[in-house]
């Protein structure tokens, strides 16, 4: 497994703050940089609201982390991954075998 973990993966979360009771979106903040493997799964074209869009799904495998960033959180679907300067939206996070060793993450890329 370690030999395939050759891709640098940046894990980011949305940075939202409150100013005078109003939520302000400050963009994305990088939590961690880890290594993992990326395998393409499917690619398809979707037409929504008169717009064509190509979507590609990937399976990303990385070591389990329970302490991402200062919040000490696990990887969640609200995070996103940046791999080779391409934004991957996290769709599903699975703790393989529930042993807290590996994540199997399903991501979606809009092309």
* CATH number of the structural domain spanning residue 9: 2.40.10.270
- pTM value is 0.81
pLDDT averaged over the chain? 86
- Angstrom distance (rounded) from CA 54 to CA 45: 4
Instruction: Evaluate if residue 51 carries a pLDDT over 80.
Output: no
- Angstrom distance (rounded) from CA 32 to CA 23: 24
User: In this prediction, what percent of the chain has a pLDDT beyond 90?
Assistant: 48
Report the pLDDT averaged over residues 42-63.
78
pLDDT value of residue 73: 82
| Full residue range of the structural domain in which residue 72 is found | 2-110
Q: Which of 51, 52, 55 is nearest to 41 (CA)?
A: 55
Distance spanning both ends of the chain, measured CA to CA:
29
Number of folded domains in the chain? 1
């Amino acid at each position: 497994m370690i030999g395939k973990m050759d891709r640098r993966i940046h894990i980011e979360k949305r940075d939202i703050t409150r100013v005078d009771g109003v939520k302000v979106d400050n963009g994305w903040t990088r939590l961690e940089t880890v290594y993992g493997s990326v395998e393409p799964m499917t690619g398809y074209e979707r037409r929504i609201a008169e717009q064509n869009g190509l979507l590609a799904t990937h399976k990303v495998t990385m070591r389990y982390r329970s302490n991402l960033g200062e919040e000490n959180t696990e990887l969640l679907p609200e995070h996103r991954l940046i791999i080779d300067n391409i934004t991957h939206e996290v769709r599903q996070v699975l703790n393989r075998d529930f042993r807290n060793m590996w994540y199997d993450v399903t991501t979606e890329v809009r092309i």
